[in-house]
Structure 1
Amino acid sequence: MLLATTILLLVLLCLVWTVWIKGKPKDGLHLPPGPRPFPVIGNILQIKPLKFLLSLKKFQKKYGPVFTIYFGSRPTVVLCGYDAVKEALIDNKDVFGARGKMVVPEYVMKGYGIIGSNGDRWKQMRRFALTTLRNFGMGKRSIEERIQEEAQFLVEEFRKTEGKMFDPTFFLSCAASNIICSVLFGKRFSYKDERFLSLLKNITGTLRFMSSVWGLLFFYLHGRIRHIPGPHHKGLQHLFDLKAFIQEEVDESVKTLNADSTRHFIDCFLVKMQQEKQNRTSEFHNENLVGSALNLFFGGTETTSTTLRYGFLALLKYPEIQAKIQEEIDHVIGDRLPLAEDRTNMPFTEAVICEFQRYSDLVPTGVPHSTTEDTIFRGYAIPKGTDVFPLLTTVLKDPKEFPKPMHFSPDRFLDDKGVVKKQAALMPFSAGRRICPGEALARMELFLFLTTLLQKFTLTTVVPTEDIDLYPEFSSADHMPPSYKMSAVSHN
């Protein structure tokens, strides 16, 4: 018993020493200030898992726009507000351009793919994804045509509700997911397809796990609890199931591949794998294919559908904004299919979409970055390899950049002449080297889905506008709009 106690004390002393060393001055400089961490568990006692963002914002008030917190014994620098985030991600994009610790994706994907990779692997995967998405269609159907087609399926599903109240979540998720499915796999799914429904369920399950108490505990203590039975394994299984689905699609594409007639993203990647099969150091192999496809599939499904769901709720609360969009649709588009190029002639609609993205604030913590070298930032010493959280919610809700940030106001994106004005602080896709590769696709989807639906329908609700609450359902790693129902009645 005495020996065990002695060993435990020695371990704790070593951990205290480790924490102290990491905060030791470098050339007279320290890491940014922050709450004092406890050995082993870091700041977990000062951060309530279900109030993760609220805890970080309290630290911001106490320590300023740049502070340090500890996840276990690992320090993480948190950046708050547009000025600090811009200075790091844009002005010093190379220094802050590496990917930080992403525990759940790393556990499942082992560092392969686009989002969780670094170095040459990340450069190659990102470049290939951007090029393929930009050129997609390969002389066949463009992405715009695919979105237009899916928008018609969405219209039909709305029409089937016959003006009755319904929750739009399912339909919007199906539509957004089908676009990325078309790009990745060359096909869309029926909204009743059991396999497709399972995919959507796994995406929702993954998001809820990552924002749950168990998800945050796994982030803190993954090295210890990943071997312990518990609910976290059920949460992780959702992502493993998505990975297995992608692998099935890859295996099927291998059997039917025609290098002279590529059909989708997976085909293009497989052809690249063939071209580099003699290169033993090539990053074009099965693990990176599955990882990249999963990154695109996950991101391409959830961000667009949730932004629209948040946006529709805002239109229910502010019906005058919806009416003004419809007036612009009637004037510019009329009865024909909306086109991506219509955006330049519809400034109010474009401003509304910008406000959708700002207000919904879907990834409030941002995706973690990491420093590529020792650096001095705002008078603090940040060692190479330190994780950095650009807290995007403090950028999108920065009162200096967006006065009255909790008020939904598309006019903030219009100048005195009614022309859309660029706001550098609008960073829903992050910024710098790690900006989301699917940004252009998401913006096109938002515009075409919104205009196509409001061309045909007016969205209404029986809930008084003053009782509609835009506050997110939960607020930790993600922002999700509260559940609601609406009706879609014929416009014109």
Structure 2
Amino acid sequence: MQAGHTPIIVLNGFQAVKEGLITCEGLSERAITPLFEDLIKNRGVIFSNGHVWKQQRRFGLTTMRKLGMGKSMAELWVQEQASQLVEYFALQKGRPVDPWECLLHSVSSVICKAVLGHNFSFGDKKIPEIYHSMDDIIQYVAHPLHFLYFVPPKWMSRIIGPPRKLFNAFQAAIAFAKEEIRNHEKKGRSDDPQDFIDFYLNQMDKSKDDPTSTYNEGNLTISITDLIGSGVDTTAISLYWTLLYMAAYPNIQANIQKELDDVLGPSHVICYDDRKKLPYTNAVIHEVLRFSSIISSTFRQCTKDMVVQGFLIKKGTIVSVNLRTAMFDPEYWETPDQFNPNHFLDEDGNFSCREAFISFSAGHRVCMGEQLARVELFIIVSSLFQAFTFRAPEGVQEMNLNREMGFIVRPHRYTICATPR
């Protein structure tokens, strides 16, 4: 397709997506419009490329592993949030409630604990304010206005300038990150770093004489917003889709609860290893991720000439990788347009993941927070359905399953009733 003078190649279907992201290894660079070049200035992880991206991503992955992401420490944090969610729904006594804010708080608490060293109390206005700022930035990537910045020469974007809402959101996110950095600096350096900022500040000290180092406050500031923005939005929205789907498909919800009751019992504290004993529950969570496909596509730029599906794509070409078409490819899914947990179960009822399941993307830019997201989704979903049955409010004949389109696809806001089991 054509965006002004800029040709964009679109990869559709799993085979094309697989070749583009994994086999050819030529799509490791993010396609950045002049607008985001001016705002981000090749900093952080999400909107950076080249040496900066490689060093920042490698450090981010290493540090999050040190902090226990996907392991015992993160599991304890997630279990605590799952327990608080159970308490929250119990207090509602079956009344209709929109679960978005409580899910957002629970997910943000886990990532804030890792990145900032602390979380925020439920009801603290700072989290929703910062979330909305970061969400405005992420959602603008797919806004039609954003594509106008492909059209004119680069200098034209400086005349047009960033949209005021985007600029204000960006400034708010940067101010939040800098405030957290200042608070850490007041405490001084620690030989026992407790969070991402601690580790990063120590790394800045270690590499201050290295001319190739990209460890500086600018990259730290953007990395904080990257980690929180990407770590909260996708997981919270996936949980929001899960409750909606289960209210819409009560038979599937009942099957989850039967498996939980038969295998674990009502008082068992859910841990991530339990997924091995709960194939149906695990399958439902994966089907939610497939069917909702909240990240529809991602834009990359070729780092070299490459051939995909027999077509030559030249170095420098912008490529739109349509992830959703892989998740709905009829060659790999028996009933792609139906919500069907059997997509992830073999003939014996054991969990089996499909090659075409790329909810967390694939290749060099696969989601940094994949393991943490998997832990959060499994523990929180299992804990909630162990304790409650979720249903539509009285008088609502059918839950609205339509999608609000954007860079991250979400359901329309809804209310739901949680009945204690």
TM range (shorter): over 0.9
3-state DSSP of counterpart to 1:416: coil
Greater relative contact order (Cα 8 A, min sep 6): structure 1 or 2?
2
Following superposition, the deviation at residue 98 of structure 1 comes to 2.0
Following superposition, the deviation at residue 129 of structure 1 comes to 1.2
Change (3 A) 1:71 1:257: farther
3-state DSSP of counterpart to 2:410: coil
Q: After superposition, give the CA deviation of every residue in 1:31-76 in whole Å (9 maximum; x if it has no partner).
A: xxxxxxxxxxxxxxxxxxxxxxxxxxxxxxxxxxxxxx22222222
**Structure 1 counterpart of 2:296, which letter?**
P
3-state DSSP of counterpart to 1:279: coil
2:131 maps to: 200
Distance 1:219 1:237 in 2: 22
Following superposition, the deviation at residue 106 of structure 1 comes to 3.4
Q: Does 1:236 align with 2:167?
A: yes
Change (3 A) 1:262 1:91: same
Tell whether the 8 Å contact from 1:99 to 1:368 is kept in structure 2 after alignment: yes
1:90 to 11, 22, 25: 22
Change (3 A) 1:74 1:470: same
Query: Rg: which structure is higher?
Result: 1
Q: Does 1:411 align with 2:342?
A: yes
Distance 1:195 1:73 in 2: 42
Q: Does 1:489 align with 2:416?
A: no
Distance 1:355 1:333 in 2: 22
**Structure 1 counterpart of 2:415, which letter?**
K
Following superposition, the deviation at residue 87 of structure 1 comes to 1.2
Aligned-pair identity (%)? 34
Following superposition, the deviation at residue 207 of structure 1 comes to 4.6
Q: After superposition, give the CA deviation of every residue in 1:358-396 in whole Å (9 maximum; x if it has no partner).
A: 01111102x212211123333433221211111011111
Following superposition, the deviation at residue 275 of structure 1 comes to 0.7
Q: Which moved more, 1:477-486 or 1:405-414?
A: 477-486
**Structure 1 counterpart of 2:278, which letter?**
M
Distance 1:284 1:170 in 2: 34
1:343 to 271, 275, 280: 275
Distance 1:267 1:336 in 2: 35
Following superposition, the deviation at residue 264 of structure 1 comes to 0.3
Tell whether the 8 Å contact from 2:235 to 2:377 is kept in structure 1 after alignment: yes
2:189 maps to: 258
After superposition, residues 62-141 of structure 1 pair within 5 angstroms as: 69-93=1-25, 95-101=26-32, 105-137=36-68
**Structure 1 counterpart of 2:234, which letter?**
T
Q: After superposition, give the CA deviation of every residue in 1:123-157 in whole Å (9 maximum; x if it has no partner).
A: 2111111111122159x971111111111222222
After superposition, residues 67-466 of structure 1 pair within 5 angstroms as: 69-93=1-25, 95-101=26-32, 105-137=36-68, 142-218=73-149, 223=154, 224=156, 227-228=159-160, 232-334=163-265, 335-365=267-297, 367-462=298-393
Change (3 A) 1:297 1:105: farther
Change (3 A) 1:123 1:213: closer
Instruction: In structure 1, list runs of 5 or more residues that go unmatched.
Output: 1-68
**Structure 2 counterpart of 1:485, which letter?**
T
Once superposed, what is the RMSD of the aligned Cα atoms?
2.2
Distance 2:74 2:402 in 1: 33
1:480 maps to: 410
**Structure 2 counterpart of 1:87, which letter?**
E
Distance 1:122 1:369 in 2: 14
Tell whether the 8 Å contact from 1:151 to 1:452 is kept in structure 2 after alignment: yes
Change (3 A) 1:123 1:444: same
Distance 2:171 2:149 in 1: 16
Q: Which moved more, 1:375-384 or 1:216-225?
A: 216-225
3-state DSSP of counterpart to 1:142: helix
Distance 1:104 1:463 in 2: 47
Instruction: In structure 2, list runs of 5 or more residues that go unmatched.
Output: none
Tell whether the 8 Å contact from 2:271 to 2:379 is kept in structure 1 after alignment: yes
